[in-house]
Amino acid sequence: MLKAERSVGLIFFPAFDWCITPDHPEREERLLYTRDQILEEGLLDIPGIYEYRPCVADDNHIQRAHICVPSVAKTVTKPHRIAVGGTMLAADLVLDGKVGCAFALLRPPGHHANRVVHGSRGFCTVNNEAIMVEHMRHRLGPGVRIAIVDTDAHHADGTQDIFYNDPGILHISLHQDGRTLYPGTGFISERGGPAAYGQTINIPLPPGTGDQGMLYVMENLVTPILAEWQPDYIINAAGQDNHYSDPLTNMNFSANGYARLTEMLNPDIVVLEGGYSIEGALPYVNVGIILALAGLDYSHLREPDWKPDALRQPQNVMPIVQSVVAQVKQQWETRLQEDRQEIFGKARFYVRERPIFYDTDQIVEKQYERIRLCPHCSGWREIYSHAAGGRIRRTKVAIVIVPWLACRSCRQEAMDDYRRLAGLAEFDQVFYHSCEEDVYLCTPDHHDPLTL
Amino acid sequence: MHVIGIDVGGTNTDAALINEEWEVMGIAKTPTDHGNILASTKSALEEVLAYHKDNAFVQLHLSTTLTTNAIVEGRGEPAAVVAIPGPGMNLAAFDFDFPVYLVQGYVDHRGRVVADICSEEVLNAAKKARADGAQALAIVGKFSQRNNSLELAAKKLIVEAGLGFSQITLGHQLSGRLNFPRRIMSAYLNASVAGIQKEFAAMIGQLKADNPILTDVRILKADGGTMGLAESCARPVETILSGPAASIMAAQALSQYTDENIVVVDIGGTTTDIAAIVGGEALYQRNGAVIGSYQTLVPALYTVSIGLGGDSEVHINDGQIRLGPQRAGKAAALGGTKLTPTDAAVALGLAELGECSKAIEALKQRAHGKFDTWEGLAKAIVDVFAFQLSAAIDEVYQRLENVPVYTVSEILAPPDIRPKAIVGLGAPARVFIPLAAEQLDLPWEVLPYHASSNGIGAAAARPTVALTLHIDTEQELMVIPELGVRTNINRGLLFDQKQARQIAVEQTAAYAQKLGLTDYGLIQIVEEETFNLVREFYTVGRIFNLRAQIRPGVQRVR
Ligand SMILES: [Zn+2]
Ligand SMILES: [Zn+2]
């Protein structure tokens, strides 16, 4: 009798009544053919593959990973809350031992959502994986080690932003080279903040990379890094836009390649990200991921138009892939020896400033951020964020964040700073978030700029 | 016209005669002659005809275990499947317990033929099936409900080759639902039991001819509806599990709760069946009936069977009582050797059955420790029965409330399906239903004729027909698999939801008419989806998926 080798919890939520706009890639139709293929293949009847209904996340869950300006209620819609709730459910199923692994096959996606949220960017508003990771830490304690491997064709800039100074997280993003694709980031040189240097790993791949190149990266880079870092949980942010038929990207992965990738990665939790070849790729890639997670035979899986010759990588691709792998590997191996003072300075704070563009909502944000270079913990930080454009008024907010496992003096300094900032007239709102204590403060509370 | 309902069950055969006023004129209960369903039918008919005092014509509604038993006991005709899977799941992994011969050919999710069948290969597969002993055949393709052309072409080849199959079932005709493995199993079972059903239908036809007052014979289905004799030969697999359906129909026919949400609890000796009625309509299984190891697409009423009944084993451990799931045997009061929940009820004077003293004696033998008097033990057993039953009911509703849904609106505003009353059937119902109702804080009702109501349920059942309509305006196609319809629609871009609904209703009505049905209820759209197809920022078409059915009515009985 057919049975999953490893039980899989499937949180399938295609949101058939939700779209960004009717002709947007994130529209009702996106997972229609995936639904049809999953049902027709009979996957949901296989013992060991269980389907679950997502739950709805509340403000508190979302605020563990995000500062939503002006409030969660004003930025996050119900469909987003369901996607977040479904992703958190995936983690709960695994943590409760109800299933061996779980797949949150749902939309809308989230990996372009940064910690500070003024609106939507890259079709994302809030970061499903990041909120789930914070949820897991609140269940498991601050010591848990979680690796996120993002296999979407776009750089997971939002997830990177949220965890870039977080020593508990290893974030690996495989993607099409940022010089050729949105969001234009994710270079090898982006390696993480002062407290987690080397734990942000970017693997930019040249356009045209196919199964061969991807499997080379998995075998020679991702798998060895994971084996060395020894995460307690592996999360795969499984975007499917590396597929050869994707309209937005220029990569050459196949459904079978994605299944093989899943098998090699052996993730505890898979979360769907992008992927907009809704007829030619998603039905087959998703079936492939489910089969691979369940330990079932996916060798008969291929796309209707699949032809081995057409999918061979261009000649020049493999040498570039090999060179990227070599560089990243070298960086990984030397990450602990590097002089962090030289990189982040000797001052009390490390400062970075950057613009952030919200393509979906046409918002421009400017961030000034300083992180305390603390010898005892990963350091509290302060962010000033100015945003304008799209449908929002010019907004200026200040944010104070106390990280997990913060030392006493960082907690104290952060609280003092929050009180000081909250007293200033300069900011429309001032936020305070202490991760471990699960405290979220805002002055003025539920501020609405439109009523000013 | 009167209606006689007969349910030939595994143990007993229940029959009921209903008059024009929908009053029960008489019921009969006889032991089933397991080896001879026709004889059981005849004797039940005879008994209940004793109440038939005038010359009114009679319509016979018949529910039997014929196909169910044939499947469970593996007595169907040897059958095989020629499958057209295309790429995807490895079909061999399913390890079907019947021969499946794979041939090439590939239809995708939009119903487009990606690869054709190969005539020679199909013929060789069919010849091999025949040579391996198959007498009946099913031909099933992946996504054949979106495009039946490969199945039809394969059938044509095999029929023309004259290989002598007694029956060829095509997958797309049985169900428009998506699920290739279930379609394979349904079609296989259909092919396998077709011969048995044909033979039985011929005998029932003879019975009708011999009894001129019988005007029409209807066969019960797993969805609680009826179909004609001829139809039952074409789709015999739909007659499985009609007994449990008859019991739910009886509850609906007899209950004072007509349009509310109720939970129907049929307490038997070994098991208790729990069914959910929402807004006056019984819930269906999400995909289809499951019989033995076969998962099918046969529409079936939703029931959950738990191992708890009047004859359940009583376990006492560390002052904790647990009942079932095994059967202890007949009650001590009736001469059995082991204590049962029935004995506890009899001893307490809650039920009259057999010898009370024997029940008390059985209780005394087990009365120790925490339960050191027979009264205390009896009371505790009855309470535990009610507790286990109410917990099971609660679990059923929790499961139903967590059935996955695919829209935001369904998540945010789920319908209220929780029962407003508990309705009981079965011999022990009078004892245990009021106690379970107290636990659940619900009003209760134990139905009249509750000990043998399946005949009434069979009589009260009305015809059901369901169709699946898939319209793809980009391809300008309309498909109704159950009818074998695959036609062009003109001016696809102008086609709208209203038209889709209208077609679904018209086609269902036409289908009902073709089947000779006249007394059917309203036609309703039970599932509906519409998607805009956008390619390169332009809307190029729409997909409509609809499911229409005759409202599965039930005749209320007094
Ligand atoms: Zn992407
Ligand atoms: Zn510190």
**Tens digits of residue pLDDT in A359-378:** 989 999 999 999 999 999 99
- pLDDT at residue A212, as a whole number: 95
- pLDDT at residue A446, as a whole number: 55
Report the DSSP beta bridge partners of residue B446: B424
Contact A3, A46 (CB under 8 A): yes
Output the CA torsion A288→A293→A295→A300 (10° steps): 0
- pLDDT at residue A447, as a whole number: 47
Report the DSSP beta bridge partners of residue B18: B3, B24
Distance separating alpha carbons of residues B153 and B4, to the nearest angstrom = 43
Distance A425 CA to ligand 2 centre (A): 28
Distance A172 CA to ligand 2 centre (A): 26
Which pLDDT tens digit goes with each residue over B277-331?
Answer: 999 999 999 899 999 999 999 999 999 999 999 999 999 998 899 999 999 999 9
Distance separating alpha carbons of residues B462 and B456, to the nearest angstrom = 12
Cβ contacts of A339 within 8 Å, gap of 6 or more: none
Residue tagged active-site, from A112, A154, A155, A447: A112
pLDDT value at A252 more than 70:
yes
State which residue of chain A sits closest to B290, comparing Cα positions: A45
Q: Is B537 on the interface with A (CB under 8 A)?
A: yes
CB pairs under 8 A between A and B: 119
Q: Which of B165, B188, B204 is the last residue of a domain?
A: B165
Which pLDDT tens digit goes with each residue over A266-296?
Answer: 999 999 999 999 999 999 999 999 999 999 9
Distance A48 CA to ligand 1 centre (A): 30
- pLDDT at residue A338, as a whole number: 92
Q: Is the ipTM of this complex over 0.90?
A: yes
Q: What are the tokens at A64? A: 């563990």
pLDDT band at A404 (very low <50, low <70, confident <90, very high): very high
| DSSP conformation letters of B502-548 | HHHHHHHHHHHHHTT--S---EEEEEEEEEEEEETTEEEEEEEEEEE
- Which of B222, B235, B225 is closest to B303 using CA atoms? B222
Q: Has residue B172 been placed in a domain?
A: no
pLDDT value at A113 more than 70:
yes
Q: Has residue B469 been placed in a domain?
A: yes
What percentage of residues in chain A have a pLDDT greater than 90? Answer: 93
- pLDDT at residue A321, as a whole number: 98
- pLDDT at residue A211, as a whole number: 95
Beta strands A49-51 and A233-238, pairing class: unpaired
Report the DSSP beta bridge partners of residue A387: A365, A395
Beta strands B226-228 and B214-220, pairing class: antiparallel
Q: Chain A contacts of B405, Cβ < 8 Å?
A: 53
Q: Is B398 on the interface with A (CB under 8 A)?
A: no
Note the Cα B225 to chain centre separation in Å. 9
- pLDDT at residue B127, as a whole number: 98
Would the CB atoms of A16 and B407 count as touching at under 8 Å? yes
- pLDDT at residue B10, as a whole number: 83
Beta strands B444-446 and B421-425, pairing class: parallel
Q: Is B108 on the interface with A (CB under 8 A)?
A: yes
pLDDT band at B558 (very low <50, low <70, confident <90, very high): confident
Q: How far is A51 from chain B (nearest CA, A)?
A: 7
Is A243 one of the annotated active-site residues of the chain? no
- What mean pLDDT, rounded, does chain B reach? 93
When pLDDT is averaged across residues B374-401 and rounded to a whole number, the result is: 96
Q: Chain A contacts of B537, Cβ < 8 Å?
A: 23
Contact B530, B497 (CB under 8 A): yes
Q: Chain B contacts of A42, Cβ < 8 Å?
A: 89, 94, 179-182
Distance separating alpha carbons of residues B187 and B189, to the nearest angstrom = 5
**Does residue A90 or residue B215 have the better pLDDT?**
A90
3-state secondary structure B277-333: EECCEECECCCCCEECCEECCCCCECEEEECCCCCEEEEEECCEEEEEEEECCCEHH
When pLDDT is averaged across residues B39-65 and rounded to a whole number, the result is: 91
> Residue B334 corresponds to which amino acid?
L
Distance separating alpha carbons of residues A267 and A234, to the nearest angstrom = 5
Q: Has residue B521 been placed in a domain?
A: yes
Q: Has residue B378 been placed in a domain?
A: no
Q: Over the range B432-464, which residues count as b (16 or more CB within 10 Å of their CB) and which as e?
A: bbbbbbebbebebbbbebbbbbbbbbbbbbbbb
- pLDDT at residue B517, as a whole number: 82
Would the CB atoms of B180 and A41 count as touching at under 8 Å? yes
Contact B343, B377 (CB under 8 A): no
Q: Which of B137, B165, B193 is the last residue of a domain?
A: B165
When pLDDT is averaged across residues A187-205 and rounded to a whole number, the result is: 97
Q: How far is A290 from chain B (nearest CA, A)?
A: 11
* Partner-chain residue, chosen from A2, A40, A51, that has the shortest CB–CB distance to B93: A2
- pLDDT at residue B318, as a whole number: 87
Instruction: Please state, in angstroms and as integers, the Cα–Cα distance from residue B339 to each residue in B329, B330, B361, B430, following that order.
Output: 9, 9, 9, 19
Which pLDDT tens digit goes with each residue over B163-192?
Answer: 999 999 999 999 999 999 999 999 999 999
What percentage of residues in chain A have a pLDDT greater than 70? Answer: 98
Q: Has residue B501 been placed in a domain?
A: yes
From the CA of A247, the nearest ligand is: 1
Q: How many domains does chain B have?
A: 2
Contact B271, B307 (CB under 8 A): yes
Neighbours of ion ligand 2 (CB under 5 A): A 374, 376-377, 407, 410
- What mean pLDDT, rounded, does chain A reach? 95
Distance separating alpha carbons of residues B16 and B459, to the nearest angstrom = 7
pLDDT value at B103 more than 70:
yes
Q: Has residue B470 been placed in a domain?
A: yes
Q: Has residue B435 been placed in a domain?
A: no
Q: Has residue B8 been placed in a domain?
A: no
Does an H or E element contain B378, and which?
A: helix B374-401
pLDDT band at A450 (very low <50, low <70, confident <90, very high): very low
pLDDT value at B222 more than 70:
yes
Does an H or E element contain B15, and which?
A: strand B12-18
pLDDT band at B219 (very low <50, low <70, confident <90, very high): very high
Would the CB atoms of B406 and A27 count as touching at under 8 Å? no
Cβ contacts of B179 within 8 Å, gap of 6 or more: A39, A40, A42, A45, B287, B288, B297
Would the CB atoms of B110 and A279 count as touching at under 8 Å? yes
Contact B513, B500 (CB under 8 A): no
Q: What is the pTM of this model?
A: 0.95
Distance separating alpha carbons of residues A126 and A108, to the nearest angstrom = 9
For an interface test with A, the pick among B297, B534, B538 (most A C-beta atoms closer than 10 Å) comes out as B534
What percentage of residues in chain B have a pLDDT greater than 90? Answer: 84
pLDDT band at B514 (very low <50, low <70, confident <90, very high): confident
Domain span at residue B509 reads: 465-550
- pLDDT at residue A451, as a whole number: 37
Q: Is B516 on the interface with A (CB under 8 A)?
A: no
Residue B398: HSE in the Cβ half-sphere, 13 Å Cα cutoff: 6
Domains of chain A by start residue, with CATH = 8-336 (3.40.800.20), 341-443 (no CATH)
Q: Which of B126, B143, B165 is the last residue of a domain?
A: B165
Contact B82, B101 (CB under 8 A): yes
Cβ contacts of A231 within 8 Å, gap of 6 or more: A145, A146, A147, A170
Q: Chain B contacts of A291, Cβ < 8 Å?
A: 89
Neighbour count for residue A5 (Cβ, 10 Å): 11
pLDDT value at A55 more than 80:
yes
Distance A82 CA to ligand 1 centre (A): 20
